Structure 1
Amino acid sequence: MTKNENAYIVGIIAEYNPLHKGHAWHIQKAKELAGAKYCIAVMSGDFVQRGAPAIFDKYTRTAMALEAGADLVLEMPSIFAASSAEDFAACGIALLDRLGVVGSVCFGSECGNMEEISRAASILASEPDLYTAALKEQLKKGFTWPQARAHALSLTGDFDKELLDSPNNILGIEYAKALIRRKSPIRPITVLRQGSGYHDTGFSDVFCSASAIRKELEANASNGGEWLPASVLQGMPSFAGHFLEPAYPVFLNDFSTLLNTALLRMTAASDPLEQYLDVSDDLAARIRKELLSFSSFEDRIGELKTRQYTYTRISRALLHLLLGITDQEIMAGRAADYAPYARVLGFHRGASAVLSDIKKRGTIPLITKTADAGNLLEGTAWEMFQKDLFCSHLYQAVVSGKYHTHLKNEYTHSVVMKS
C-alpha cells in the first residue's frame, strides 16, 4: 500500500457487548461510506466502558465481529477500555492513528450530523475561557461532570440538547476531539443510529440495543429459563447462535464475591482507596462505611449512588478497585500516548496484507503471540499489557468457577482466524 491508499481502511471503536444486527449493519455501512476495502475494529477486552464485565469473552465477540465483516480486531488496553468516555475515545483513536494505515473512523450517533459533532469537539479541544468558567461553576454547584459539561457547551455554542445528552453523540464528540488534538489525518464519519436507543431495553423491529439483549439474557438466566431465547437471537445476526451456544455468559453480580474480598483486603492492609481511578475522598469514605454490608455488586452501586455520583461512575470506580486500576497507571498510560502496542485478537486471512502494512508503517509493536510481548514491550507498555492479562485471567477465573469448566488462558488461547 502507498500513503494515499489509507482511504481503503476504515476503523471502528466498539465493544460488541454483544454484537447485534445493528453492529453488523454498521460494519458494512462504514466500509460503504468510507469506500474502504478493509475494516479494523478496536474492541474492548473482557471489561467494558460502563464499568462491568463483558457478557461474553473477548474471543467469542472477536469471532462474531469477523463473521460480521471486520477484517482485523485489536484489543483496547484494559485500563482505558473501562475508563471515562474521554479516555476510552482517546485510546481508541490513538490506537487507530498509530497503526499508520487507517484513513477514516466511522461511528454511530443519535444525531447523524458530523458538522455539529465536529463543532462541539472543537470547543472541547480548545477549551475557551467561557466554556472553562461555566464548567467550573456547574461543578461547584454539585452537578455531575456530564451535566456540567453539557451546560457549559450549551453556553458556548447553540447546540441541540439531545446532542449533549445522548450517549453515542457524546462518544462521537470525544472521537472527533481526540482526532483534533492529535492533528490526525484520519477522517471522522458518522452514521445515524438505527432502531432502538442505546439504553432501550425493549426489542425493536429494526435493530434492538445491546442493553436489551443483555437484560433478556440475564432475566432468562435468573429465572432458570433457556439461556439463549429466540427473542435474543432475533435481534442478532443469523450466525449468532453458532458462536453463542458454546459460550458462557457472565453478569456484573458474578463478580460480587471478588469485589467484597478485594475491599476487605484493601481495608485490612490500610490500602488507600483514593489512589484508584474514579474513587474520590468522599466516595472512598462511603465505601468504607458500607464495607461490611457484603452486598452484591449491583446492590453496592445502589447503596453508594447519590445525585453527585451516577450509576456508571460508581460501577466504574468499584471495577477499578477490583482490577487495581490506579490514577498513577492512567497517568502513565496517557503519557505513553494511550496505546503503546496493538494486540491482535483476530483477523481475516484475506486481510494479511493489512497486518504486513501495519508492521511496516505503524509506530507501535504488533502483538500476535502473548509469549512474544516480553521481547517487544518495556516500561509502561509492558505494565499495561500485564494488566490486560490480569483482567482477562480474572474474568476467566469467574467463568470457570461459575460453569465448572476449564478455559484456555491468555498464553494458550490462539488468535481467532477466519478463512
Structure 2
Amino acid sequence: MANHTHCSAVGIIAEYNPFHNGHAYHIKKAKELSKADYCIVVMSGDFVQRGAPAIFDKHTRATMALSCGADLVIELPSIFATSSAEDFAACSIALLSSLGVVDSVCFGSECGEIQTLSDIASILAEEPEEYKQILRMELKKGLSFPQARNKAIISCESLDEEDASILLTPNNILGIEYCKAIHRQNSSLTPLTIKRAGSGYHDPLVTPDQYSSATGIRILLKENEGGITDTNSLYLQIPESARQIVKNSQPVFPDDFSPLLNAALLRLSMDDSSLERYADVSRELAARIKKQLPDFLPFEEKISSLKTKQYTYTRISRALLHIILGITTEQIKEGKELGYAPYARILGFRKDSKDLLGHIKMRGSIPLITKTAGAELTLSEAASSMLRQDFYCSHLYQTVLQNKYHIQNKNEFTRSVVIL
C-alpha cells in the first residue's frame, strides 16, 4: 500500500476482449518490473480498435481486470478506441500522462526488446525525408499502409531487415506506436515491455497448457454460444477470480450489429449523405459501399465483400463501425486538438486503492469523471461533445445486448462505477 506522500503507478493499455490468463500474467509482471504501488489500466469501452464490438460490455471487462490485479480502470474515449493504431496509442499515452501518478507504461510484445522497439519508434516519430519518399512510392504501387511502412523501414539505413520485420506482428506494432507517442508528446513515461507468452495474437486455437489468444477465446465463446462451464477449455483460459463474471455475462459479436449497419447505410443513401465524412472511409471505399446497396449482408460478410489488396479487413471493419457509431473525421480532428484526452472517465477501482484517486485529483491535469450526471459541467463544449459520443456508443451497444438477450440493463446515466 502506498503512503500519503508518495504514489507511483504503472500504466497498462488494453482491450481485454475478453480478459484471460495472459492478461493476469501481464498485470503481475508489470507491477514486478515497474516496482509501482498501483496498476492503472486504460481500456477500450464497448467497441475495440479492430473495428468491432467488444465481446462483453466495458463494465464486465473492467470488473474482470479489477478482480485480477488492476487497481483502477479508465475508459479510453470511443473516437480513439476505434481509431488507427497510431491514434489509439497517442490517446492512451496522453491519458496516462495526464493522471500525474503514472511513471511507466508496460506492454506485451512479440520481440520483448524495448530498445529495438524504441529505435524503430524514433524513426517513425521523426519521419526523415528518405523514409517519407519510400513510403509514398510504395503506397503508389498499391501496397497497404502497414506493408508500405515496413518497406520504408527496411530501406532506411538505420535498421536492418530483421529489425524491420518486427513491424509485421500486432503487439510489436502497438508497442512501437506507444513509444512513438511518448517521443512525440515529450511524455515522462518510461516504456517497459514483457515478451508475449503463449499463442500468437491472431492464433485461433485454444490449448489448456498455454496462454491462448483473445481471438481464440472469442471463437470458442461463439462456438459455445457464450457458455462457459467447469469442463470446457474456455474455463481454463479465464483466471479463477473472473470465471463467475464470465458465466454471468452475455457476449455479443459483430454480426449482431448487422441490422444497425444496414439501417445506417440505407438512411445515408436515402439522404444522399456523403459517406466520406466518416472516419476511415475513403472516396474509393465509399463508392464500393454504395455499389453494394442494398444487399443487406451480415456485418462480417460485408467486410469480406469490400476487402481489396489496398484495404485490410480491419480498416474496412473500422470504417463500417464508424458509420454505425457516427464517428466522423472531423470529430477525430477535434479530439486531437483537445490533446486526445481532455478527461479521464473511471469505469472502476478497488476499495483498497481509493488513495490513488486522491493522488490523481491532486496531481492530474484533466478532470476525473466518476459520475456521468453533471460531468459535462466540468468540461469545455468540445470535450463534452467527445464524452456524449462515448455515451452514444455505449447506448447503441446496450440496445443490441438488450434486444439479443431480452434483458434490461442500466444505461450510462444509471450505471455506477464498479467498486471491488
Match of 1:264, as an amino acid? L
Give the corresponding residue for 2:9.
9
CA distance in 2, matches of 1:145, 1:3: 48
Residue 348 (structure 2) pairs with residue 366 (structure 1): no
Offset from partner CA, 1:199-245 (integer Å, 9 cap, x none): 00112322000000000111222xxx946572111111112321012
CA distance in 1, matches of 2:161, 2:108: 19
CA distance in 1, matches of 2:128, 2:109: 25
Offset from partner CA, 1:298-346 (integer Å, 9 cap, x none): 1100110000011000000000000000000000000101000000000
CA distance in 1, matches of 2:323, 2:24: 34
Secondary structure of the residue aligned to 1:11 is strand
Residue 390 (structure 2) pairs with residue 416 (structure 1): no
Residue 219 (structure 2) pairs with residue 208 (structure 1): no
Shift of 1:46: 0.1
Further displaced range: 372-381 or 170-179: 372-381
Shift of 1:246: 1.6
User: Structure 1 residues 185, 4: CA separation in 2 closer, same or farther (over 3 Å shift)?
Assistant: farther
CA distance in 1, matches of 2:367, 2:326: 25
CA distance in 2, matches of 1:240, 1:374: 33
* Matched ranges for 1:264-413 at <5 A: 264-413=266-415
Match of 1:279, as an amino acid? V
Shift of 1:5: 4.5
Assess if the C-alpha contact under 8 Å between 2:228 and 2:234 holds in 1: no
Assess if the C-alpha contact under 8 Å between 2:228 and 2:247 holds in 1: no
Displaced runs of 4 or more, over 6 A: 1-4
Give the corresponding residue for 1:42.
42
Assess if the C-alpha contact under 8 Å between 1:74 and 1:344 holds in 2: yes
Match of 1:187, as an amino acid? T
Give the corresponding residue for 1:135.
135
Gaps of 5+ in 2: none
Secondary structure of the residue aligned to 2:324 is helix
CA distance in 2, matches of 1:287, 1:2: 57
User: Structure 1 residues 3, 350: CA separation in 2 closer, same or farther (over 3 Å shift)?
Assistant: closer
CA distance in 2, matches of 1:99, 1:168: 24
- The total of aligned residue pairs comes to 414
Match of 1:197, as an amino acid? G
Assess if the C-alpha contact under 8 Å between 2:258 and 2:297 holds in 1: yes
Residue 208 (structure 2) pairs with residue 176 (structure 1): no
CA distance in 1, matches of 2:325, 2:293: 17
Assess if the C-alpha contact under 8 Å between 1:110 and 1:192 holds in 2: yes
The alignment's TM-score, normalised by the length of structure 1, stands at 0.97
CA distance in 2, matches of 1:274, 1:341: 28
The alignment's TM-score, normalised by the length of structure 2, stands at 0.96
CA distance in 2, matches of 1:182, 1:346: 27
Secondary structure of the residue aligned to 1:400 is helix
Assess if the C-alpha contact under 8 Å between 1:19 and 1:64 holds in 2: yes
Further displaced range: 192-201 or 345-354: 345-354
Further displaced range: 148-157 or 85-94: 148-157
User: Structure 1 residues 330, 226: CA separation in 2 closer, same or farther (over 3 Å shift)?
Assistant: closer
CA distance in 1, matches of 2:405, 2:287: 35
Match of 1:43, as an amino acid? M
Give the corresponding residue for 1:32.
32
Residue 217 (structure 2) pairs with residue 217 (structure 1): no
Shift of 1:408: 0.4
Shift of 1:2: 10
Match of 1:89, as an amino acid? A
Assess if the C-alpha contact under 8 Å between 1:233 and 1:240 holds in 2: no
Secondary structure of the residue aligned to 2:224 is helix
User: Structure 1 residues 122, 108: CA separation in 2 closer, same or farther (over 3 Å shift)?
Assistant: same
Give the corresponding residue for 2:70.
70
* Matched ranges for 1:177-196 at <5 A: 177-196=180-199
Match of 1:289, as an amino acid? K
Secondary structure of the residue aligned to 1:42 is strand
